[in-house]
Amino acid sequence: MRSARSRGAISEIAPTLREASEVNENVLEERYDASVGIDTNRRAAVAFGIAVPVLQTCRTVCFGHMPETWGEWPIAMDAYVTGALLLVGAWAASRHAQGRALLSVGWGFSCGILYRSFFEQLADPSRHARAHLLVLGFKGILLLAAMAGLAGAILSATSKSEVKTVGP
């Protein structure tokens, strides 16, 4: 059982702890808003959503690897699905706060696809030739960028700041 003295001490400390917590939350939010806001994340998603399918198309044309069976088509299309999710997520995030969740989905999907692709190639020694190392390097850079985008989208989705609405 708590004594009156300990209850008094707790009631004195509790407002101070709440204030400190609010200050820390505000500082984190201000730092995030200043460095990587939702607008920056949306712009990155648009750039990424365009670049990844273009890079996949260049890779397919340069290396001539077209899917040979129906089972290979979903794997061959992952870059285009990634691009579509990021572009739709960036558009939705510009319209309303709930769109930030869709932007997070796009970044999360990108992370998953790139993680599998990067480490699958890294584990296969036959895919460490000169041109393949260039592709592996691009995949690594894109994976890091996607992880940063995902972290930013999650932070913005949980942020209390309002989204600027675009259009009528």
Site of tokens 């972290």: 151
Which pLDDT value is given to residue 35? 43
| CA proximity to 59, closest of 85, 79, 31, 45 | 79
Instruction: Grade residue 125 by pLDDT with cuts at 50, 70 and 90.
Output: confident
Question: Quick check: pTM over 0.85?
Answer: no
Q: How confident is the model at residue 168 (pLDDT cuts 50, 70, 90)?
A: very low
Q: Per-residue pLDDT for 112 more than 50?
A: yes
Angle at the Cα of 57 from the Cα atoms of 108 and 152, rounded to 5 degrees: 25
Q: Helical H runs in the chain?
A: 4-35, 38-63, 73-76, 78-95, 99-123, 130-158
Q: Which residue has the higher pLDDT, 161 or 34?
A: 161
pLDDT, position 130: 79
Domain extent listing, the chain: 1-35, 38-158
Question: b/e map of 41-77 (b: 16 or more CB within 10 Å)?
Answer: bbebbbebbebbbebbeebeeeeeeeeeeeeeeeeee
pLDDT per position as a tens digit, 19-77: 655 655 555 555 544 345 888 999 999 999 999 999 888 888 887 777 788 888 888 89
> Does residue 135 carry a pLDDT above 60?
yes
Distance CA 42, CA 11 (A): 44
So what's the pLDDT on residue 67?
Answer: 78
* Cα–Cα dist 156/24, whole Å: 16
More confident residue, 16 or 47: 47
Tell whether the model's pLDDT for residue 8 goes beyond 50: yes
